[in-house]
Amino acid sequence: MEEEALLSIGAFARRARLSHKALRLYDRHGLLPPDHVDPVTGYRYYRPDRLAAARLIVRLRGLDMPLADVGQVLAAPAPEAARLVAAYWDGVERRHAARRELAAHLRIHLLGDEGILDMYEIQQREVPEQLVLTEQRHITPEELPHWIPAALGRLLPVAQEHGGVFGDPFVVYHGEVNEDGDGPVELCVPVDPARAGRLPAACRTEPAHTQAYTRLTKAQVAYPQILSAYDAVHAWAQRESRTTAAAPREVYFADWSEIGPADPACDIALPLAD
């Protein structure tokens, strides 16, 4: 390969707006190897048409994209590369939204729960008696986000075999789930008593009750920031001199896979005594 047809590392770096150090780093990671290395001097040379890839790397790194992900984008055809960039940025936005809610949770916690009721709108509703399929587990906070959809995947087909789902699934916390407690936690899927027939043994009747609840976005559901919502509902009940009738729960009314970080996703609810 004639060196005259190539750009020296200095010229290539200037036109690509990359430092020599960055070019060597991308070479080590297989992202932008030189097209020719002089066997005597060790000088590196690049074809001018490699500038497009170099400039794309600069822009991807401007998104703080890890080098492994950059490599996947570079290796993919245009439609797939665009999908990879969109998926990466969607993940960034989800993490940013979760961190924002975590910061709000920490601020409230450090201020001794001052202003917690200003952050959450607490409402009430009447919940009728429900027949529910259940699955119960002692679980850690880290396991919880995986167990809920897995358990739901086991119960939903059973519900469909017995008349279908007859209300929003909910998760009851019979004990605290945090660094010091593991529940137990109970996933409940309501079914229609009139169409259920003979149900499996893992079912029970949830009594009718009044609920105090607050609605959360998907970003607010992440642990530990979700704990602020529980604290807010309990604080409201205490302020209103309302007695708790049963364990708190999360009511899932949205398709989790179809909603974004700012979309309503879940209610934190507390059954109240009459």
| Amino acid 70: pLDDT | 95
Residue 170 is inside which H or E element, if any? strand 170-173
| Amino acid 249: pLDDT | 97
Domain boundaries along the sequence of the chain:
3-75, 116-272
d(CA 74, CA 90): 19
| Residues of the chain below pLDDT 70 | 1-4, 113-115
CB count within 10 Å of CB 77 equals 7
Q: Check residue 240 and report its DSSP letter.
A: T
Q: Check residue 242 and report its DSSP letter.
A: P
CB 137 within 8 A of CB 183: yes
SS3 120: coil
CB 89 within 8 A of CB 102: no
Dihedral of CA atoms 28, 32, 35, 39 in degrees, nearest 10, equals -20
What CATH code is assigned to 3-75? 1.10.1660.10
Give the C-alpha distances (Å, rounded to integers) separating 91 from 61, 79, 86, 96, 119.
15, 19, 9, 9, 25
| Amino acid 1: pLDDT | 46
For domain 116-272, the CATH superfamily is Regulatory factor, effector binding domain (3.20.80.10)
Helices (DSSP H) in 162-260: which residue ranges?
Answer: 226-239
Look-up of token digits 């109240």 = 272
d(CA 82, CA 88): 10
d(CA 246, CA 172): 9
* CA angle, residues 22, 36, 68, in degrees to nearest 5: 40
Predicted confidence (pLDDT) per residue in 165-216, tens digit = 999 999 999 999 888 889 899 999 999 999 888 887 799 999 999 999 999 9
